[in-house]
Every structure is written in structure tokens, then in C-alpha cells.
A and B are shown apart, each in its own frame.
Chain A
Amino acid sequence: GAGVSQSPSNKVTEKGKDVELRCDPISGHTALYWYRQSLGQGLEFLIYFQGNSAPDKSGLPSDRFSAERTGGSVSTLTIQRTQQEDSAVYLCASSVNRVDGYTFGSGTRLTVV
């Protein structure tokens, strides 16, 4: 596709359940990023992929959060044993180089009840 695609667009889950969020970056974009945005706040960096490897995963809040990327393309962000404080919009972005900036997906709004 022409843009970054994220699914699902909305997810409501019960506290304690696991969730998987998916990101399809723009074809050819080797760099992929996950961010989290709580209501009315700025973006919180979670993890960065270059190809299939994650040189920087320093933003993952706890060991309940993990992410992988396969084939240098699709990435999944998994949150285990979800907590209410995990409720936020999770944004994925990809880029081919720094100069052109990042292209963001529309995000997944996660609500933990």
C-alpha cells in the first residue's frame, strides 16, 4: 500500500489479557518505529527496528511489552497481561532515511477495561 497500515484501529480488551498490534510499513522502508501516546500527551518512544533487528528497545515500559519484525516488513507489538495504564494510542512509523521524515500509520487505540 501507499501508506503505513496498522490493525486493528481500535481494540478493547479486559485487564490481564494479551494483545497483539500489527504494523505494515511502506514497502522499502527499512526503519520502523513504535510510539505510544496517552490522551493529550506527546509521543513516547517504544522501540526502533532497522531491518529485522532492534538496535534500540530502550523505550519498552516493562517486560510485558515485546515486539518483533519479520522479513524486514511487518511488525507486531505484543502486550502481555494488559493493565489499565496500557490504554493509549499505539503509533507505528516507517522511514527510508532521516531527511524525508517518518510516515505514521493511523494508530491503534487500545482500551483496557
Chain B
Amino acid sequence: SQQGEEDPQALSIQEGENATMNCSYKTSINNLQWYRQNSGRGLVHLILIRSNEREKHSGRLRVTLDTSKKSSSLLITASRAADTASYFCADFQGGGSEKLVFGKGTKLTVNP
């Protein structure tokens, strides 16, 4: 079963704008991860945020975590055409499971 669900399903913005994607969870968060996928092939790990963290940065990426709302957001600042991709959140199923469960993703299009 899915652990997280991304919102929106699709997002189209202009180059230079910021893009915000959200991920909501049904159960408790363990180690929430964000991945990027280009052209429907391999995924690239972007950032991991632990359940006791509230915010994390990596370059133009900013991830926040709100455990009370069971949600996380990925913000891409000053977007570029090369950021066009699908973005997925994922978390471990819990109970010590090593199964990483992915949401359906947000398809981001950055127009030049």
C-alpha cells in the first residue's frame, strides 16, 4: 500500500519561479526521502529528512516536515528547465521494515 501521496499530480511553471510539491502521509513518518526521475527511468536520491528534523536544505532544494500534519514539502527555488522531471516522496513502511514505499509523484514542467 502507498505510504505517501504527492500533491499536485502535475505542476507547470516558468523558469526562475519556485516550485512547491507536497507529500502527505497516512501513518507516522520514519525517514522521509525525496527522489527525482527523468524520462521514466532511474531515480536519483535528492534528500532525506528524519522524523526529528523540521527543515533541510541542499543547494536550491528545501524540504520541510510537519509531523502534526503528517506532511512534507519540497521547494525548488529559482527553477531551471533542467529541473523538469517527476518528483517522488518515499518512506519506510515502519515496524523496522526495509521496504521503501513511494507515492505516485508530481510531474514538474519548467518552461524556458
Contact = CB atoms under 8 A, between A and B. Distances in A.
A89 B88 contact: no
Interface string B42-64: 11110010000000000000000
Interface residues of A, number: 29
Given A56-B99, A58-B99, A101-B35, 12 more contacts: A41-B104, A42-B88, A42-B102, A43-B102, A48-B98, A56-B97, A56-B98, A91-B42, A91-B43, A98-B92, A105-B42, A106-B42
Interface of A: 4, 31, 33, 35, 37, 39, 41-43, 45, 48, 50, 55-56, 58-59, 89, 91, 93, 98-107
10 contacts: A42-B105, A43-B88, A45-B101, A56-B97, A89-B40, A100-B45, A102-B45, A104-B42, A105-B42, A107-B41
